[in-house]
Amino acid sequence: MAPLKFCANISWLFCELPSFTQRLHAAAAAGFRAVEAAWPYDTEVSELQEAKEQAGVEVVLLNTPPGDTKNGDLGLGAVPGRQQEFRDGLDLAVKYAKALNCSRLFKQANSDSTMTVAEFRKKVFDSLLAEYVAVPLAKQGRPSQTAVPDRLTERHFPATYEDKKYKPDCVVCSNR
């Protein structure tokens, strides 16, 4: 059996350090060879590139921008009326991913709390993500299969799947 590989999520680890560039170095100093980041978009991509090279770590995953987290946004991919914001955020995420040689993007979909599960799935998989993720990634020479789907459940983000009958297994805790 191959050994397990772990990466440091520098959005949640080394938070005593104020910048992502410092956290890249801290992750390397702690023995991590790879990192991921939820939303590194407040840091100039050139600064992240330089810190990544200096630290000698690989960036293995970035999230698409979540929208306005102060108002409860955790993604825009399935929020009616905010498609352009999602596309703009996806373009930004692709720019950062390409510059950092990161081959995985976590597309944050979220949903309107009034949507049913069926509406949510249709909006995410049939409309937005199929059209607006595959095309920009293909333009950057990256297959859309390298994008990571959202598999967290209401146990972790209650507003995302508010009181739904169908509850998928959660990849974090293996519960429904």
CATH topology for 8-146 is TIM Barrel (3.20.20)
64-92 pLDDT per residue, tens: 999 988 888 888 877 778 888 988 999 99
Contact 36, 59 (CB under 8 A): yes
The C-alpha atoms of residue 42 and residue 19 are separated, in whole angstroms, by: 9
Token digits for 78?
Answer: 């399935």
The pLDDT value recorded for residue 48 is 97
pLDDT at 58 over 80: yes
Contact 164, 176 (CB under 8 A): no
87-136 pLDDT per residue, tens: 899 999 999 999 999 989 888 777 666 767 677 666 666 555 556 666 66
Full-model pTM:
0.69
Kindly provide the b/e burial profile for residues 147-166, where b requires at least 16 CB atoms within 10 angstroms of the residue's own CB.
beebeebbeeeeebbeeeee
Token digits for 74?
Answer: 């955790």
The pLDDT value recorded for residue 72 is 83
The C-alpha atoms of residue 149 and residue 63 are separated, in whole angstroms, by: 11
CA angle at 170 for the pair 83 and 123, rounded to the nearest 5°? 20
Parse the chain into domains and list their residue ranges: 8-146
> Does residue 4 or residue 58 have the better pLDDT?
58
